[in-house]
Amino acid sequence: MDRRILLASVAGLLGLLSFRWLRAEPAKAAEKFEVEKTDAEWRAQLTPQQYEILRKHGTERPWSSPLLKEHRKGIFACAGCDLPLFSSDTKFDSGTGWPSFFTSIPNHFATSQDHKLMMLRTEYHCARCGGHHGHLFDDGPAPTHERWCNNGLALRFLPSSGKSA
C-alpha cells in the first residue's frame, strides 16, 4: 500500500472519529421528570409568558412581578406542577427586580450550567416538571450567601393563612 494513501486514510479515520465524538457531545441523555407533558399540553396549561419562561428558559421583565410585594407567610410553588419550592421565610429584597430567596426547599430543584450572556451561570429548574425558574448566584445574604433569582411568573404563592393570593 502506498504510504501516502495509508496516511490519508489514517487521517480520514481520525477525522471521522473526532467528528463523531464532537457530534456525540450535545446528545446527552435528557433528564427524566415525574411530570412530563407534550409541548401542546404545556401551551394549553400555561399563559404564553409562563410558557416562555418555564419551557423556553425565558426571563420576565424586572420589576414586573406582583410577588415582589408579597410579604405574607406562605409557600411559593411551581406554576408548572405545584411542587413547593420556597418558603416565605427565605425571601429577601435583592434590589434586582426579581423575587429572590436565600435558599430553596431541599431537593425540589435541579441545576445545570448555561453559557448565555457569555458567562457561566447556574440555571435551576423544578425537579418534578423540569420547568426553568431562574439562576443561582453566590452574592446573597447570610446565612447561606445564596441568591436564588426567580421569575415571579414561574411561581404560584400559597398563603399559609388560607386567604387566596
Contacting positions for Zn ion (CB under 5 A)? 78, 80-81, 83, 126, 128-129, 131
CB of 50 to Zn ion, least distance (A): 11
Q: How many CA atoms lie within 13 A of 136 on its CB side?
A: 16
Instruction: Say which amino acid occupies 145.
Output: H
- Catalytic residue, from 78, 81, 126, 149: name it: 149
The Cβ of residue 99 has, within 10 Å, a number of other Cβ atoms equal to 29
Q: Among residues 34 and 93, whose Cβ is nearest to Zn ion?
A: 34
The reply to whether 149 belongs to the active site is yes
Whole-number Å distance between alpha carbons of 126 and 7:
51
In degrees and rounded to multiples of 5, residue 133 shows phi and psi of -115, -40
CB of 12 to Zn ion, least distance (A): 48
CB of 153 to Zn ion, least distance (A): 13
Q: Among residues 99 and 131, whose Cβ is nearest to Zn ion?
A: 131
Q: Among residues 46 and 129, whose Cβ is nearest to Zn ion?
A: 129
Q: Among residues 67 and 78, whose Cβ is nearest to Zn ion?
A: 78
- Helix, strand and coil percent figures for the chain, each rounded to 5: 30, 25, 45
Cell of 138: 453566590
The side-by-side arrangement of strands in the sheet containing 100-101 is: 91-92, 100-101, 147-150, 132-137, 121-126, 109-114
Q: Show which residues are catalytic.
A: 149
